[in-house]
Amino acid sequence: MITKRITVNSPDADKAGIAEAAEILRRGGTVAIPTETVYGLAANALEPNAVAKIFAAKGRPQDNPLIVHIADLEMLYNVAAKVPETALKLAEKFWPGPLTMVLERGEKIPGCISAGLPTVAVRMPSNEVARSIIRECGLPLAAPSANLSGSPSPTTAQHVLDDLDGRIDAVVMSDCSAVGVESTVVLLANGQQRLLRPGRVTPEELSSVIGEVEIDSSVLTPHLNGAVSSPGMKYKHYSPKTKVVIIDADADKYIDYVNSAPGNVGALCFSEEAAKVRVPCLEFGSADDALSQAHGLFSALREADSLGVGVVYAHCPRRDGVGLAVYNRLLRAAAFEVISL
Ligand code: TXA
Ligand code: MG
């Protein structure tokens, strides 16, 4: 298939582009759309045949459920069977924005969205282009990250094309994603309050609105067997072909380690360190600025293969606030291999 490029810089200036993307989605097609977190691969969430095209294009395992994207609170009641008070409080504070809530699944949402789970993940993105497309087609849109399953999530339209050109109906070409890592996922069904995936909205921010939020064990440890509460967190993920290993150390020790490591090695370091690193290196943001690390991480991981090295040593980020999201993605890129110095 030929993947159509639809340029939309702003919803007001490019109404025709919004209308074209919405029409493809209404007819059951797949369209990659920009969001503030990462680009998503959208399809009509109410139509199993359209949803199946997402799994096929990405090569996504069927047991990994999708997030449903909505444009306003009214749509929430069509997607979820029950909307607890906690969800309304979080929606008021963080929607539209990079927060996904897992709630009881409404009967209009087909089981294939949720891999058969009784729940559904819902998010209202803040990106205006994304919300305009949802509003224009008048449908909730299923949208996982628009990458091939296992590769780093796309933060630019070009990343989407690198993975999915020829496999999907269209790409909405727009700005790069502001946040750079996927949304925070919090489980709120059946009275639970559990963080399944860290993101731009931090555990501390969630707790300040709804009280204590438990951090699911899959956030920081591998879950290879048995039941998991967030199936997407069990796979090796976000990986370049090149092996990635995390080095947990202060700046001096990290720089010494990579500079004296035997063999053909590369570095994934903070921008302040790049001048002192004497092996091929990529930067992923500033040492004390987790937002900049989130913004730069996936682009850097996508470039890692071009370093032409056998292993890339990534400097371990801080693990608090948004840093927890950066660390969580890096752990999966490194298949949980961490060397502490
Ligand atoms: O920022 C984002 O969330 C992006 C943009 C496009 O909105 N989307 C995204 O989707 O990251 P995806 O499919 O790459 O990740 C969805 C995550 C997975 O970890 C999945 O297991 C989890 O959400 N998830 C979805 N539905 C769930 C459910 N019913 N219960 C538990 N986890 C669920
Ligand atoms: Mg993904």
Amino acid 308 reads G
Position 163, amino acid: D
Task: Kindly calculate the radius of gyration of the chain based on its CA atoms and give it in whole angstroms.
Answer: 20
With CA atoms as reference, report the closest residue to 163 among 240, 61, 92. Answer: 240
State the Cα–Cα distance between residues 222 and 234, nearest whole angstrom: 7
Q: How far apart are CA 181 and CA 183, in angstroms?
A: 7
Mean pLDDT by 10 residues, the chain (341 residues): 97 96 98 98 98 97 95 97 98 98 98 96 98 98 96 97 98 98 97 97 98 95 64 67 96 98 98 98 97 98 96 97 97 94 95
Residue of 216, 71, 206 whose CA lies nearest to 136: 71
- Can you tell me which atom of ligand 1 is nearest the CA of 113? 26
Distance 191 CA to ligand 1 centre (A): 20
In one letter, which amino acid is 53?
Answer: K
Residue 305's CB: how many other CB atoms inside 10 A?
12
Q: For residue 100, what are the β-bridge partners?
A: 123, 185
Element of type H or E holding 315: strand 311-315
Is 19 strand, coil or helix? helix
Q: Using the 8-state DSSP alphabet, how is residue 3 labeled?
A: P
| CA pair distance 273, 286, nearest whole angstrom | 9
Residues with CB under 5 A from ligand 2 (ion): 145
Between the CA of 219 and the centroid of ligand 1 the distance, in Å, is 13
Q: Which ligand 1 atom lies nearest to the CA of residue 183?
A: 1
User: How far is it, in rounded angstroms, from Cα 124 to Cα 145?
Assistant: 15
- How far apart CA 258 and CA 218 sit, in angstroms, is 29
- Ligand 2 centroid from CA 264, angstroms: 30
Ligand nearest to the CA of 144: 1
Query: Which residues' Cβ are closer than 6 Å to ligand 1?
Result: 35, 37-38, 40, 64-67, 100, 102, 114, 117, 119-121, 123, 143-145, 182-183, 185, 196-197, 229-233
Spacing, Cα 155 to ligand 2 middle (Å) = 12
Q: Which residues pair with 245 in a beta bridge?
A: 313
Q: What is the pTM of this model?
A: 0.96
Closest ligand 1 atom to Cα of 40 = 6
